[in-house]
Structure 1
């Protein structure tokens, strides 16, 4: 009976940790230590996204083995490989590394037509692949040094897949950044009058997909989208 009870306890523990829980943390600027608000936090496994509040805080459903990505305008991205320790840790802080803004002057002069998003993308690409050291990213660190990467590609993928997976991860994060640039609180506040908490909920509930935004590149398209979704939001 005792053996049966022990097995049942172990089974319950395994089931508990295999079930999605809430991973909570605070996002801060690695240099100023100020909160980073309206950052998008996405669980790459279940594709759920939440937005950090004015204190940089967020909570997202996750389970051990999930990969969480964090993206915010003018910052390199960060990724976390969720484990039991992270799920149990309170007051976890994620430091995002500001883009260095040090592209060659010739590059900037040659591309004056670049948008802010395109320039930031160039910075992120340079920072990402300069830090990967032949596509090897540093492992998740408890200290969150603010380097902007938190997942070891070598740990999850074989040597022959490392480059391809690094590029795939970068492209996934660029999609998140693009959504953030188009669907941002500054733009929304021109057409939506909602308290901050309601605005966060609206952004999480009706966050457009990357594909939809690429298919609708004009400002007017997004305005119509916001108006339509706002009607649904207010009905609820």
Structure 2
């Protein structure tokens, strides 16, 4: 099946009703043996590992590895929201995950929630400590933080999620400065797909990169090989 749109941040399985040519990544908090399936509409639903450290640090890593082998995206998700269950973005809390991701090529999706402000200093420190790990920052209004552009400048392993709430002018400026490979589409739960107005300011190749190409490259480990 040809995939035209990869939604890297769907909130539920309902997002997979978009139809053929659509792939949705849905966070999966429970253990499952079915990491990917086709919906009745022909869309591909892939359950994304939400990494939760356990008493045995290798137990969670081994579970994530098994999930990826079974069809989960090669982009593991971390809950960094300001809620119960959120993780600190530090090596001691996530060890040995950063080293495993660096060795095996997995990317990390950093979920700061729908309204949370991204702590750029903490994120930059972590990005610099794991320079070979691609980090996809998830959040509704990530591009609205002025200093986020300096983050992209100093940390080449950081990508930003683009949602329908992103200002088209900001996206066009970001793509023009840092390249389309630094941006990935995520719906944050919307069922409408990528906004045509948002994409209209981009060249055709950049639109493809943002809506499917970069997500596919992260999933298959090609993004790191090309850009880091």
TM class by smaller structure: under 0.3
Structure with greater proportional helix content:
1
Please give the TM-score of this superposition, normalised by the length of structure 2.
0.27
Larger Cα-atom Rg = 1
Higher relative contact order (CA 8 A, sep 6+): 2
Please give the TM-score of this superposition, normalised by the length of structure 1.
0.27
